[in-house]
Amino acid sequence: MTKKNTPHFTTQTEAAPPPVQEKVEETPFEAAASICSVLVIGLFILTFLCQNFVIPSGSMEKTLLVGDHLLVDRISLAPPARWMPLVHYREPRRGDVVVFLKPGEPDMYLVKRLIAVPGDRIHLRNGIVIVNGVAQSEPLAAPTTSDNYRDYLDDFPAVPMSPDLGATEAWSVAMPGYVHDGDLVVPPGRYFMMGDNRHNSLDSRYWGFVPRENILGRPLFNYWSFKTPEDQYEQSGLANNLAWLGHVALHFFTQTRWNRTLHIIR
């Protein structure tokens, strides 16, 4: 009996082709919603968390220069909010560099150094700041010399301020009421500010105390600095703005102060 050989066939299974993925295009509505989301987040950050600030004058030289672009922390010095319980809030301290609204001019932003807090007694003697009887060490402040000495600035408040010296009329009238035994006493809820460039700074010696609610925040660091004339930010008009933009574009690399990039403000 012969054994019939049956042929042996092997079957190969072909790999299934990968599924075709359909390209889903974003609808105009979804694109608009994405853009709006980015704008809302950016607006929230600039309104509540941080803010861009440009130095327009030399009142804080050499701590801050004209043309410095700062990122300002608007949270830590703000009044505590229940909806942000994890944020570290604190009161303004002596020595802080702060951004605030000028008293009596709510549209004008200023940046100065905080010299005295509520309850402090302050006076200047030959340009040296004395707070509560202690002479302050201020290595960043411009020193007083025989060439730049001005009695109403360097011996404040011993020399009466008056409008013809640059003080506001309201402050000239009110200031004597805060002077006791030769010291200016800072009232509750108020702060005394001065620029580091002491002889080129319109500050609390000219217009008085800054209310707590006027303090907006403190500069964190300088993210870009460009050599800028001190009167540049006083210029107005479209032609001047376009000319300045052209100047910045043309000299961006040569007139940017690269050594001040990401410079921490102290």
For the chain, what are the domain ranges?
A: 51-264
Q: What region, left, alpha or beta, does residue 67 occupy, with left being phi > 0 and alpha being psi -120 to 50 degrees?
A: left
Can you give the pLDDT at residue 233? 81
- pLDDT confidence of 106, banded at 50, 70, 90? confident
Q: What region, left, alpha or beta, does residue 126 occupy, with left being phi > 0 and alpha being psi -120 to 50 degrees?
A: left
pTM for the model stands at 0.79
Can you give the pLDDT at residue 212? 95
Can you give the pLDDT at residue 36? 55
* Active site positions, annotated: 59, 112
CATH number of 51-264: 2.10.109.10
Q: Which of 99, 100, 153 is nearest to 123 (CA)?
A: 153
Q: Is the peptide bond before 62 cis (omega within 30 degrees of 0)?
A: yes
Q: For residues 28 and 174, which has the higher predicted lDDT (pLDDT)?
A: 174
Can you give the pLDDT at residue 26? 62
